[in-house]
């Protein structure tokens, strides 16, 4: 019977982390189904979706993760999933959007924007943020990119008005565009 697992790991960025994790997955007779990896500051972070066969898969993964933590100084978490992620029912009538925010770095950009989206029942599928100095002035500029899914009954005009209000209040540019399904 196929089992599914979510695995996350974080550790000081260095060559070989992906190799270490992929070897662990292979040695536990699992398949890497999906992944997201990034460098955050000086840390490397990864989130993996795995599948495996057999009753011993969870125990093998647990033992291997503990070994990897000890030998490679990674912090590793994993847990079994209750069902096949591909079997999760898709939302009918959802609308996909991309949202980009850009402005001087200040507290509250993510908090205010994500709360607005959550209050409308909008699901954030992916989010990337970055703060870097502007070439001319050296001021820190914050950029946030969000891919999201909105229920069919979300009024796009109202969504845009709410986002515009946040943009005016925080002095940031927010742009919303349709994303391919």
pLDDT digits (tens, 9 = 90+) for 53-86: 999 999 999 999 999 999 999 999 999 998 878 7
Q: Give the mean pLDDT of 128-149.
A: 94
pLDDT at 181 > cutoff 90: no
Number of Cβ within 10 Å of residue 132's Cβ equals 10
pLDDT at 78: 93
Cα angle for residues 130, 106, 145 (degrees, 5° grid): 35
Class of the CATH-defined domain 2-87: alpha beta
Tokens 């699901």 sit on residue: 123
**Inter-residue contact 94 to 149 (CB < 8 Å):** yes
CATH of domain 95-178: 3.30.70.260
pTM of the model: 0.83
Angstrom distance (rounded) from CA 153 to CA 4: 33
Q: Does pLDDT of 124 surpass 90?
A: yes
Residues 50, 30 contacting (CB under 8 angstroms): yes
pLDDT band at 180 (very low <50, low <70, confident <90, very high): confident
Please determine, for residue 48, whether its predicted confidence score (pLDDT) is greater than 70.
yes
High-pLDDT (> 70) share of the chain, %: 96
Looking at residues 81-96, what average pLDDT do you find?
A: 76
pLDDT given for residue 83 in this prediction:
82
SS3 27: helix
Q: What is the pLDDT of residue 92?
A: 67
* DSSP three-state, residue 170: helix
Tell me the pLDDT band of 132, cut-offs 50, 70 and 90.
very high
Contacts with 43 (C-beta within 8 Å, 6 or more apart), sequence order: 10, 11, 12, 13
- State mean pLDDT over 144-148: 97
- pLDDT, position 1: 84
Distance (Å, whole) CA 109 – CA 140: 14
Say what angle helices 17-27 and 57-72 make with each other, to 10 degrees.
150
User: In whole angstroms, what is the distance from residue 23 CA to residue 2 CA?
Assistant: 20
Residue 43's H or E segment, with its range, is strand 43-53
Sheet hosting strand 123-133, strand order edge to edge: 123-133, 140-150, 95-104, 172-178
Looking at the chain, which residues constitute the CATH 3.30.70.260 domain(s)? Answer: 2-87, 95-178
What average pLDDT does range 94-105 have in this prediction? Answer: 96
95-104 and 140-150 beta bridge pairing: antiparallel
Confidence band for 163, pLDDT divided at 50, 70 and 90: very high
């Amino acid at each position: 019977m196929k089992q599914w697992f979510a695995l996350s790991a974080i550790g000081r960025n260095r060559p070989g982390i992906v190799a270490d994790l992929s070897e662990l997955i292979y040695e536990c007779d699992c398949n890497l189904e999906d992944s997201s990896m990034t460098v955050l500051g000086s840390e490397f972070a990864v989130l993996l979706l795995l599948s495996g066969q057999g009753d011993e898969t969870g125990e093998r993964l647990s033992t291997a993760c503990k070994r990897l933590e000890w030998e490679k100084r990674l912090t590793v978490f994993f847990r079994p999933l209750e069902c096949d992620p591909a079997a999760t029912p898709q939302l009918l009538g959802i609308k996909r959007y991309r949202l980009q925010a850009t402005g001087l770095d200040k507290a509250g950009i993510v908090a205010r924007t994500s709360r607005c989206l959550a209050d409308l029942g909008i699901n954030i599928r992916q989010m990337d943020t970055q703060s870097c100095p502007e070439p001319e002035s050296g001021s820190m500029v914050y950029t946030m990119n969000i891919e999201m899914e909105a229920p069919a009954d979300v009024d796009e005009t109202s969504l845009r008005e709410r986002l515009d209000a946040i943009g005016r209040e925080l002095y940031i540019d927010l742009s919303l565009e349709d994303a391919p399904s």
